[in-house]
Structure 1
């Protein structure tokens, strides 16, 4: 009986080799995981608090863009931009939403139009100071910075 137990003990110690598998390299695993991530898309779009109750991703994105567009138009509807820059009917606005919900707006106008960039920037900063809070976009559970451009129609 002792010989059988000794034999089983020796076999069980030797069989541990069969379970020994090579562990992949940490860098290889990281590279594989980074290749799987689509860096051009976010899991959740930035949102206003009024759009948070919407569960459908497309509807939530549409709500965000509509609310953002409405807010931009209402804040920039003053005639000062139209008076200072009569040749402008539409301004492309670069919207930058940082991961900590800070929002920055940069007007983008083609170089063919002569304008005072600092004056236009100061008007934008003055008009958009009390902009409603925007929750940042989410990528893999982490808030991320997003940037995009939106047209703002000054004249109709």
Structure 2
């Protein structure tokens, strides 16, 4: 009987650790979640209303860039741009769509020859973005988020 009492006493002293509840703070949960969070990817890319019928994420991105490129191209073709030499260049437009759907041109990367031939190209690009249809911002986990992307535009003038 004495052995059973000693055994139960040892068992009770050791088993107390099993009843301790490990407390996890909200900061620890948030920190762990942020480490697993993929910041460079969104659930849905920004879009225009004409892209509503598109289902896949890749097609939505292609549709958005296509509508944006077409809008810029149509604006630039109506402008009277005169060059002294042939230009075949790809300019890279760095853009940002805010959480509210506002498009902002951050930077224009153009070859120096193209910049010399068309010095007003930057201002033309800024003006081309003024008449865009409504943009629906990108979403991440159901929240509208700011996205930054680069859009290549090919210039071919003769």
Give TM-score scaled by structure 2 length. Answer: 0.72
2:127 maps to 126
The CA deviation at 1:136 is 0.8
1:148 maps to 149
* Range with greater deviation from structure 2 (123-132 or 135-144): 123-132
> Does the CA contact (< 8 Å) of 1:100 and 1:136 recur in 2?
yes
Gaps of 5+ in 1: 1-16
- 2:19 and 2:75 map into 1 onto residues whose CA distance is 67
Within 5 Å, give how 1:71-150 maps onto structure 2.
Answer: 71-81=71-81, 83=83, 87=87, 89-105=89-105, 106-110=107-111, 115=116, 119-150=120-151
> Does the CA contact (< 8 Å) of 2:87 and 2:155 recur in 1?
no
Gaps of 5+ in 2: 1-16
Q: When the two structures are aligned, how many residues end up with a matched partner?
A: 140
Q: Is the alpha carbon distance of 1:36 and 1:85 closer, same or farther for their aligned partners in structure 2, counting shifts above 3 Å?
A: farther
> Does the CA contact (< 8 Å) of 2:115 and 2:121 recur in 1?
no
- 1:53 and 1:42 map into 2 onto residues whose CA distance is 19
> Does the CA contact (< 8 Å) of 1:77 and 1:154 recur in 2?
no
- 1:100 and 1:84 map into 2 onto residues whose CA distance is 42
Give TM-score scaled by structure 1 length. Answer: 0.72
- 2:69 and 2:27 map into 1 onto residues whose CA distance is 43
1:21 maps to 21
Q: Is the alpha carbon distance of 1:78 and 1:34 closer, same or farther for their aligned partners in structure 2, counting shifts above 3 Å?
A: same
Moved segments of 4+, more than 6 Å: none
**Does 2:30 align with 1:30?**
yes
CA RMSD across the alignment: 2.9
Q: Is the alpha carbon distance of 1:117 and 1:100 closer, same or farther for their aligned partners in structure 2, counting shifts above 3 Å?
A: farther
